[in-house]
Structure 1
Amino acid sequence: MTRTPPLYALARHTIGRYLHHSWRPAVTGLHHLPDAGGAILAANHLSVADQLFLGVLTPRHIAFWAKAEYFRAPGPRGFLTRRVVTGMGAIPVERGGGRAALTAFDAAVPVLRSGGLVAVFPEGTRSPDGRLYRGRTGAVRLAHQAGVPIIPVGIRGTDRVRPPGSRFPRRHPISITFGPAIPVLIETPADIRRHTETLMAAIQSLTRQEYVQHYARP
C-alpha cells in the first residue's frame, strides 16, 4: 500500500469528520477495494462534492487531478497553493487538448504502477441533469497502460448537497458504492469501447441512473 500524504490524512481527519457528522454518508462494497496494489476508481460525476466524499469514505489515499497551473502558481498565495496540491498527492493536468491533455495520464501511470489509487470520472464532466452520460475511453486506456483493474463506483445524492440557486450546502442522504473490479485486456481497438461500455453499465447498476448514449457537454 502506498503512503498517505500527511496533509491528505489531516484533511480526512478534519474535513472528513465534519462531512461524516453533517451528512452521515453511507458506504458499501469496500471489500472490492484491494488492500494493496494499484487500481482506478471510476465513478459517475454529479457534483464538485464527489471528490470530497469519495476521498473521505475510501480508506486508502486517492490521487485526484489538479490544474497544472496550481503546481507553478507564483507569489505567497501561489506558494500555499503549491504546498496544498503537492501535499495532497494530486496529479497535474495541463489544460488544452492533444498531447497536453495526455500528460495527465502519463503522470498517473507511475502512481498506479507503484500501487496507488487514481480517481477518474469517465463522463469527463459533471452530469447536467443527474443522468449518466456516455463514458469516454480514457479510464480504460489508462488501466491498460498501467496494467491495473478498474473499480466502478456509484455516487448518489451529492447533486442535492448544493442544488442550483442555493447559497449554502443542504443535508441530503449521500451514498457511495464500490463494485467488483473490472479487469482490462485490450487486443483490438474495438476492445477499448467495449470495456468502456461495460464500465458504464457497471456504474449504472450501482446508481440506477438513466443512461444517455451521447457525451455530456462541459
Structure 2
Amino acid sequence: MWYSLFKYVLLGPLLRVLGRPTIEGIENIPERGPAILASNHLAVMDSFFLPLMCPRRIYFLAKNEYFTGPGLKGAFQRWFYTAVGQIPIDRSGAEAAAGALTAASRQLDKGELMGMYPEGTRSPDGRLYKGKTGLARIALETGVPVIPVAMINTNKFNPPGTVLFRPAKITVRVGKPLNFDRYEGMQGNRFIERAVTDEIMYELMQLSGQQYVDVYAQSLKDSKPGDDRPVNPAA
C-alpha cells in the first residue's frame, strides 16, 4: 500500500512533472520471476526514478542506519525507506557481505526484482567507474538474469551535494538480460566474478554512453575529503 502511495500519489507525480521521465526497453523487464536490475549510479534520485518507471516493484539494499533513527524523524525515515522498497542490512563487521548476499537472495527466491549499483557509490563526476563483484556473486549464487539499466541525466536533476531538484529530462534505458549459466558451479571464483562484473559494466557503458574509468569510484572519493559516501554499500 505504502509503495503505491509513494509511486502514484506522493512523490511520483512531482517527479513526472519535473523530470518528464521516459523508459526505453521496458520489454526487457520480465513480467514475473526474479532478476537483478544492475544500474549505473549518478544520483540519489536513481533509486526513485527507476522504481517510478518500472512496471514491477523493485527492492534495494540500504544501510541499517536508515531504519533505526530516533524520534519523529526516525519514524518518517523508516516509513519512507520501507515505502520505496529499501531493505535494511548491517554493513558493519566481517559478515556484512554475507548479510547482503542473504538479504538479496531471500528476495530473489520470492521471485522479486532486486535493484543494485555495481559501482557501489554514486559517480563523483558523471563517468562510469569499475564495478565491485558483490552483484556478480549474488547473480552466480542465485542463477538469476542480470538486466543492465542506464540512468540518464539524474545527475542534472539532482546534482551531487544538492537538495533541491532541477528540472531535467530523465531517461531510463533498459538493456537485454544477461545470462551467466555458462559459469554454473564456478561461484566463489574471484576471477569468474570479475569477468561477470566487467561484462555487466561494459553493457552499462554501451547503454549510458558514459566514459569508463577502470578504478573504483570510492577510491577517488576517499582521495578528496568532503565528498559524499556510498548510498548503496552492499551493491
Which residue number corresponds to residue 86 of structure 2? 90
How far is the alpha carbon of 1:174 from its aligned partner?
Answer: 1.0
Query: Contact (CA 8 Å) 1:71, 1:81: kept in 2 or not?
Result: yes
* 1:170 has 2:166 as partner: yes
- 1:77 shift after superposition: 4.3
| Contact 1:91–1:104 (8 Å) recurs in 2 | no
Matched ranges for 1:134-173 at <5 A: 134-163=130-159, 168-173=164-169
**CA shift at 1:27, angstroms?**
0.7
Deviations for 1:86-132, whole angstroms, at most 9, x for unmatched residues?
Answer: 44442112133521243122111110111101110000111111110
Gaps of 5+ in 2: 222-235
Paired residues, what number? 213
Q: Which residue of 1 aligns with 2:216?
A: 215
Residue 2 of structure 2: aligned partner: 7
CA distance in 2, matches of 1:165, 1:172: 17
Alpha-carbon shift at residue 25 of structure 1 (Å): 1.1
Distance 2:78 2:178 in 1: 34
Compared CA separation, residues 35 and 172, structure 1 to 2 (3 A):
same
What's 1:3 paired with?
Answer: none
Give 3-state SS (helix, strand or coil) of 1:106's partner: helix
108 and 165 in structure 1: CA distance in 2 versus 1, 3 angstrom threshold: closer
TM-score by length of 2: 0.83
Which residue of the other structure, out of 85, 98, 104, is the alignment partner of 1:102?
A: 98
Residue in 1 that maps onto 2:196: 195
Give 5+ residue unaligned stretches, structure 1.
1-5
Letter in 2 for 1:9: S
| C-alpha distance in structure 2 between counterparts of 1:163 and 1:61, whole Å | 26
The answer as to whether partners of 1:94 and 1:101 remain within 8 angstroms in 2 is: no
Q: Could you tell me whether the CA contact under 8 Å between 2:20 and 2:168 is conserved in 1?
A: no
* 1:52-78: CA deviation from partner (whole Å, max 9, x where unpaired): 111101110001222213334444543
- The equivalent of 1:182 in structure 2 is 178
Amino acid at match of 2:200: L
Correspondence 1:66 to 2:66: no
% of aligned pairs identical? 40
1:66 & 1:162 partners in 2: Cα distance?
19
Code of the aligned partner of 1:16: G
Q: What is residue 122 of structure 1 aligned with on the other side?
A: 118
What CA distance in whole angstroms lies between the structure 1 residues aligned with 2:113 and 2:156? 27
The CA distance in 1 between the partners of 2:150 and 2:22, in whole Å, is 12
How far apart are residue 194 of structure 1 and its match? 1.1
CA RMSD of aligned residues (A): 1.9
Match of 1:113 in 2: 109
Equivalents in 2 of 1:143, 1:110: separation in Å? 13
Greater mean alpha carbon deviation, residues 162-171 or residues 127-136: 162-171
Q: Is the 8 A contact 2:132 2:197 kept in 1?
A: yes
| SS of corresponding position for 2:149 | strand
CA contact (8 A) 1:45 1:126 kept: yes
